[in-house]
Structure 1
């Protein structure tokens, strides 16, 4: 996947260990997300996000990318190609910097992402959000995702799955 084409408005790059402090800073600006996950961001779990994979997926299937405006990290996206099937791209995490929220930045990035995924040959985008997080549900519905009826117990919280046909 050519990640540089994920956005025409922002510079996009694969994130690595050297970016962990900037990712962690972005995470800290989103305490509500972590409240629903019943955890807090740490440097350790931030670094873990760079490598964690769903069952059966390989390192080459994961794209943990940052969206940059000049030198500022304004959003992060964890994208898993061909999961849970060959025609689906899974959004494992999408988070926008606090300063960019309410400016349509997130919706603009998702719109461009979905167009690119379709060009890459995917027919569906899928994600899971924490059921107790109405802000997340609202964002994804606003961007055309619909509940597919599946829920998964994650121990401390339950996620609801959503999909969008591309």
Structure 2
């Protein structure tokens, strides 16, 4: 459900999803969390002016999915992870195998715990705590993403639409 809210908030239509499947989009998206954390931390040096880099980091988060054109091929790990995210979001309309249900929730929870720890670190200006949170966030996010590759591999022939995504 949370993934559906994010997809709606980001207005992820078919064209945006195609560009988001570009490996360059996937890899450059990994810059969002460090940029956001650094922007929030900059309140120490910039005061209220830190809202500018925070806004830029949030804008980059939104714009990144729209920046890249569709890839020449989706037959790669990064693209399949994005395709798996689409399958995951659509799991209430097209059932997925039961072995794909539990662990992604755990990994999303790990990423959420990492986010909370990073926020606490930012609040306290505690660099080790902030970095621990970032590490847990990325561990959960990237492992979740890898599970989405597996999900897509298992589901790529489930519907003609899913099959058409792989080229």
If the TM-score is normalised by the length of the shorter chain, which range does it land in?
under 0.3
Larger helix proportion of the pair: 2
Between 1 and 2, higher relative CO (CA 8 Å, sep ≥ 6) is seen in 2
Point out the structure with max Rg over C-alpha: 2
Larger strand proportion of the pair: 1
